[in-house]
A and B are shown apart, each in its own frame.
Chain A
Amino acid sequence: MIYFKLILCLFFHQLDASTEGEDLISKLPDDTLVDIICRLNLEEAARTSSLSSRWKHLWNFSTVLNFAAPRKLWKFPVITLLLTRAYLYTSSIEKHKTEIDERKNRYISWVNKVLELHRGSSINESRICFELGGSHETVITDWINTVIAKRVQKLELNLERCLGGDGKKYTFPQEWNNILETPHGLSGLKSLKSLSLVDVCVTRQALEIFIYNCPLLEQQIKLHVGNVPLLRDVSIGGEYGVRLKNLIGPVRTEKLSHSARHSSCIWTRIRILCDSQYAY
């Protein structure tokens, strides 16, 4: 029987064994092509849609969505950077501010569009990286919820203010704990292995949601500037504490040791980094 099967497959495959000059790649399954697309940046991935009709929607199945802003959105003229960083109140700064706001809006619609087009059932890695803040709370929360519902494993939210931004930082909203009541939210959180938050205010409540609902989140949680004041109030003990040994944050040593004495043993396991180790 086996030999019969082998002969059969030998016969059929022999027909297309000579592949010289052919579209070799069309013989690969979609999964493998998507694997290649996942290793490209988003622009390169989206460009594959115009290769042929087979490729048109393949990039929408990519499991890596790294929203590093396209060049023209990210590259500001030097004068804009200088003016906004120096907080100079000149007549031209308004113009530059409008320019910056306009680019933020374009970034937001870009991310919205790509997420809307995404057809795959899972996202392994997602990185949102642009100067956004509290005024974009709804849309950022939607993004987080969307990628969590697709069982994201590695999530980075980098809202670093390189334009010297003003206003409130993004904070996980009060009602974010509703995510636990949505079936996709709760099961999605279980896939999270790595979390990095830069220039984001992490409330005690949000941090606890991550810690208590993400069993795989042992590798690391990275928290940068802006998280410290609220973090001091968090106390996590027991088995969760052990998992958090890689929590990294720019925590001032004296502040930390102070709270360590007053809260549970978890703090002693946290890797301490001095402010100077972060060049922010």
Chain B
Amino acid sequence: MSKLGQAKRIIFLKTADGQLFEVDEPVAMEFEIVKSFFDENEDAADDTVVPLPNVSAEPLAGIIEFCKAHVEFRANGAAGKDEVKKFNAEYIKEKSNEQLKELILAANYLNIKEMLDFLTETIANRLKNKSVEYVRAFFGIENDFTPQEEEAVRKEYEWAFEGVDED
């Protein structure tokens, strides 16, 4: 892929809403989908634009920020240290639930394991001790149970429905 002696390679990514991103190669290679694209097409030209039809610009910018920081952490041997935790906490603090969902969808499509782990954990933390109604609203899940069916499920797992926080 990158030829020796060459300057830092830039990967071009194009989002669903038509924005072009220029990303440093090591960061772009965090995206499994981009990596396998170049693995399968070793002779792809340097200015190949990889289309990302399932990702729009906003979540992609967020993902690049995250992956860039984590690539640097790994390079500095800081992986797993407090510095990383601090960055992650800061990173997610300002994100709304809506943004979080867009991020996880995009990270899932791009197949970025480290970020998916982080996002599933963040989402789980936001759902801790919440009611079924809250979780449904959080995800935007449509309840396709009849009232009787739902009642039956709730009854079956009665032990799970005690001591839930008010929304």
Contacts and interface: CB of A to CB of B under 8 A. Distances in A.
Interface of A: 2, 6, 9-10, 12-14, 17, 19, 21-29, 32, 35-40, 42-53, 55-56, 70-72, 110
Contacts of B121: 39
Contact of A52 (B41, B102, B105, B141): B141
Interface string B138-151: 01111111000110
Contact of A40 (B53, B54, B101, B128): B128
Given A9-B53, A36-B120, A49-B157, A25 B140 contact: yes
Given A21-B140, A47-B157, A52-B145, A10 B163 contact: no
B108 A28 contact: yes
B153 A49 contact: yes
B140 A71 contact: no
Nearest to A69: B159
Given A23-B139, A23-B141, A50 B120 contact: no
B104 A28 contact: yes
A47 B105 contact: no
A11 B161 CA distance: 44
A160 to B, nearest CB: 22
B62 interface: no
A14 B124 contact: no
Contact of B53 (A14, A35, A50): A14
A24 B142 contact: no
A42 B105 CA distance: 25
B95 to A, nearest CB: 14
Given A27-B105, A46-B160, A47-B160, A13 B144 contact: no
Contacts of B17: 17
A274 B136 CA distance: 51
B6 to A, nearest CB: 23
Given A2-B41, A25-B141, A44 B129 contact: yes
B13 interface: no
A44 B127 contact: yes
Contacts of A45: 160
A40 to B, nearest CB: 5
Given A24-B102, A47-B160, 13 more contacts: A17-B56, A19-B102, A24-B139, A25-B140, A27-B105, A28-B108, A36-B123, A39-B124, A48-B135, A49-B156, A71-B162, A71-B163, A72-B162
A10 B145 contact: no
B8 interface: no
B137 to A, nearest CB: 11
Contacts of B131: 47
B132 A47 contact: yes
A45 B160 CA distance: 8
